[in-house]
């Protein structure tokens, strides 16, 4: 914990120029930027800020100040319906950008909450825009990341269009598995960072239906579940279940 002033300086330097060395290099904004551009970006990024479980990066209605990249941990973003009912819009794993919901109006339409102890890199948005106007590569990269986010939203809509609850749940697990694999973690064994309630809200199902779905998949030997610990035993069958099965 404690350290000499000299080592503090070293830490700071290392923190400041982390983008180039970051393990999430390819997932995050800096991908495809050259060394000079990376340095410029590094200068405005406040990296590895720790976030406690349950802490919020921003609230609904708060002005857009920064974009965030999950570094460790996991987040959810959700809109708050006027009657108090929330809708979970997305879950964010390391390397994924958070805060784009405010692009249209300069105010956040979502809140972002840490699901576990996490760290984020914080990118002040006005500074990002300033340096981006001189860096076409960064502009394009930003558009690309935004486009990925939109693809996720469309996938989300497609998932909720699915009729069967079990299909949605299977699809959810498949997608999560793939995301973990892309992070270099095992895709067949992982711990869910979110509650059943969060999952249900995300999928448009009540908590009991989610629980029953997990139990069913477990009974059928497709997955093994103990609380939030999940192991995918038969990826092929899970994929099969995730396909839309017409009732016709």
Contacting residues toward DNA, per CB under 7 A: 163-166, 192, 195-197, 204-212, 214-215, 225-228, 246-248
**CB proximity list for 5: less than 8 A, separation 6 or greater:** none
As a three-state string, the secondary structure of 26-77 is: CCCCCCCCCHHHHHHHHHHCEEEEEECCCCEEECCCCECCEEEEEEECCEEE
Q: Which is nearer to DNA, 103 or 207 (CB)?
A: 207
> In the complex, what is the shortest distance from the CB of residue 148 to a second copy, in angstroms, rounded to a whole number?
4
Question: Residue 156 binds which one of a second copy, DNA, none, with CB within 5 to 8 A depending on kind?
Answer: a second copy
Distance between CA atoms of 206 and 239, rounded to whole angstroms? Answer: 23
- Tokens 């390397």 found at: 95
Question: Residue 119 binds which one of a second copy, DNA, none, with CB within 5 to 8 A depending on kind?
Answer: none
Question: Residue 197 binds which one of a second copy, DNA, none, with CB within 5 to 8 A depending on kind?
Answer: DNA
Query: Which position among 85, 184, 186, 221 is part of the footprint of a second copy (CB under 8 A)?
Result: 85
Query: Which position among 14, 43, 53, 144 is part of the footprint of a second copy (CB under 8 A)?
Result: 144
Query: Which position among 10, 13, 20, 160 is part of the footprint of a second copy (CB under 8 A)?
Result: 160
Ramachandran quadrant class, 84 (left: phi over 0; alpha: psi -120 to 50; beta: rest): left
Residues in the chain: 248
Collapsed DSSP state (helix, strand, coil) of residue 226 = strand
Output the CA torsion 70→71→73→74 (10° steps).
20
Question: Residue 133 binds which one of DNA, a second copy, none, with CB within 5 to 8 A depending on kind?
Answer: a second copy
Distance between CA atoms of 218 and 57, rounded to whole angstroms? Answer: 35
> In the complex, what is the shortest distance from the CB of residue 191 to a second copy, in angstroms, rounded to a whole number?
25
Q: Which is nearer to DNA, 34 or 246 (CB)?
A: 246
Maximum CA pair distance of the chain? 71
Q: Does 26 bind a second copy (CB under 8 A)?
A: no
Q: Is the dihedral of CA 15, 18, 19, 23 positive or negative?
A: negative
Q: Does 143 bind a second copy (CB under 8 A)?
A: yes
> In the complex, what is the shortest distance from the CB of residue 198 to DNA, in angstroms, rounded to a whole number?
7
For a second copy, the binding residues (CB under 8 A) are 79, 81-83, 85, 87, 89, 100-105, 109-110, 129, 132-133, 136, 139-140, 143-151, 153-154, 156-158, 160-161, 201, 204, 243-244, 246
């Amino acid at each position: 914990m404690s350290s000499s002033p000299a080592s503090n300086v070293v830490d700071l330097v290392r923190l400041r120029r982390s983008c180039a060395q970051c393990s999430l290099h390819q997932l995050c904004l800096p991908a495809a930027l050259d060394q000079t551009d990376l340095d410029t970006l590094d200068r405005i990024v406040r990296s590895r800020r720790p976030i406690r479980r349950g802490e919020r990066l921003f609230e609904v209605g708060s002005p857009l100040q920064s974009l965030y990249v999950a570094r460790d941990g996991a987040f959810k973003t959700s809109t708050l319906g006027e009657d108090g009912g929330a809708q979970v819009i997305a879950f964010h794993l390391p390397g994924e950008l958070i805060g784009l919901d405010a692009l249209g109006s300069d105010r956040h339409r979502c809140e972002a909450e840490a699901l576990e102890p996490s760290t984020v890199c914080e990118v002040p948005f006005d500074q990002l825009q300033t340096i981006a106007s001189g860096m076409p590569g960064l502009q394009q990269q930003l558009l690309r990341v935004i486009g990925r986010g939109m693809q996720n939203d469309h996938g989300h809509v497609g998932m909720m269009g699915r009729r069967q609850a079990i299909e949605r749940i299977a699809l959810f697990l498949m997608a999560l598995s793939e995301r973990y694999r892309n992070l270099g973690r095992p895709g067949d064994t992982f711990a869910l960072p979110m509650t059943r309630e969060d999952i249900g809200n995300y999928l448009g199902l009540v908590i009991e239906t989610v629980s029953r779905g997990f139990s069913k998949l477990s009974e059928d030997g497709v997955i093994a579940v103990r609380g939030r610990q999940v192991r995918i035993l038969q990826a092929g069958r899970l994929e099969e279940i995730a396909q839309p099965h017409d009732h016709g």
